[in-house]
Amino acid sequence: MGLTGSLSRGFLYGLNRIEVVGLDRFLETLDRREDIDGRERGLITVSNHVSVMDDPLIWGVLPFRYAFNPSNHRWSLGSYDICFQNRILKAFFTYGQVLPTHRSLHSPHGGLFQPTMTQAIRLLSSQPFSQPPSNLSHDVESTDPFTTGHLTYSTNNLDSFPSPSFYPSRKHSWVHIFPEGRVHQHPKKSLRYFKWGVSRLILESEPLPDVIPIFIDGNQQVMHESREFPRFIPRAGKDIKIAFGEKVDGEKVFGELRERWKRLVQMQKDALRKKGGQTEWEMGELTEGLKYGTEAVALRKEVTMRVRMEVLKVRRSLGYEDEDPKQGLVETWIEEGGKETGKMKDGSWVGNT
């Protein structure tokens, strides 16, 4: 984490022209979270995604002491088919606090309910995630992994990854997410539609995490999707802007939706109880009704739309003109047909990451 953060900072400030908005306010948030025992809730940062270099590059704006303190640094979700191809990459990104995430386009194990999402929800929360056996001591950081089975987890029933949420020292962690799900470089700096993973983090984590929106501009010139050989080398001498928005008023924006979610969960439990079924499950686990039920889907859709609006507020504060509202609709992108990457009809470039 320290090495990557240092390289990113050196690249941003040594080889480019960087403007950062709202950094002091964001650092104050991190400083309040430095004492792990004093944390009362998790932190979600959410941003647009304009370059394969966004993470880790945007964290280069943090002073060195933050880069070398991984317990107060972000966890992120990284593409399994890119970041975890072999042992070396797996080790690098695992130590870099990246959670292996399958993408449905590349894997049958992708989607909204994969095990990595459970890990992210638990990282934002705190233990216990279920009622522990009464004979286990609460005075130790971890219990016997051979009896609990939570020290590791699998994303596809074949691999094995350390389970970061297993350790109480990682309670109420910081998780960053790019809800666009892939690189999107639009000439007018507009956003793609947001995928629903972020809604699970907001609805299911306990308590409601703090949410801070971020807007990125300029990284697309560092690694543009149309770049030629050598594609793997970042381009220097660019103007880069990173803006940290104010903390979202969570109760005002998401409170009513979370209450509806809790009522829905209780209804599911009541229905199962009448049938004599299991009425308790671990955090991050859902019944079929909570996965695919009409109201559950509607809640995720609404939460995701509100998150996107918060990122757009930061974008608007920088002076960019309002985007076409159709940009936020999945139907707009369906019109592109089977084309998933490359240059789109609206002039934007969409990447594979």
Classify residue 136: in a domain, yes or no.
no
Given a cut of 70, is residue 9 above it in pLDDT? yes
- Number of structural domains, the chain? 1
Which amino acid is present at 263?
A: R
How many Å is the Cα radius of gyration of the chain? 20
In a domain, 19, yes or no: yes
Categorize the per-residue pLDDT at 139 as very low, low, confident or very high, splitting at 50, 70 and 90: very low
- Residue-wise pLDDT for 167-201, tens only, equals 999 999 999 999 999 999 999 999 999 999 999 99
**Residue 133 domain-assigned?**
no
Which has more pLDDT, 351 or 160? 160
Q: What is the pLDDT of residue 148?
A: 42
In a domain, 145, yes or no: no
Look up residue 271 and give its two tokens.
Answer: 């229905």
By the 8 A CB rule, do 219 and 50 touch?
A: yes
Closest CA to 177 of 211, 207, 225, 222: 211
pLDDT at 42 over 90: yes
Residue type, position 236, single letter: A
CA dist 136 to 153, 162, 283, 311, 329, Å?
21, 21, 19, 44, 49
Q: How many CB atoms lie within 10 A of CB 293?
A: 16
User: Residue 215 domain-assigned?
Assistant: yes
Question: Looking at residues 120-146, what average pLDDT do you find?
Answer: 61
Q: Give the global pTM.
A: 0.92
pLDDT at 351: 87
Nearest to 101 by CA among 36, 148, 156, 62: 156
> How confident is the model over 26-35, as pLDDT tens digits?
999 999 999 9
Task: Please indicate, yes or no, if residue 140 is contained in any of the structural domains.
Answer: no
Read off the CATH number of the domain in which 14 is found. 3.40.1130
Tens-digit pLDDT profile for residues 248-281: 999 999 999 999 999 999 999 998 888 887 778 8
Task: Give the per-residue pLDDT at 113.
Answer: 96
Percent of the chain with pLDDT over 70: 93
Cis peptide upstream of residue 128 (ω within 30 degrees of 0): yes
The runs of H, that is alpha helices, within 231-322 are: 250-274, 288-292, 294-317
- Kindly state the average pLDDT of the residues 148-173: 89
What CA–CA distance (Å, rounded) separates 311 from 46? 7
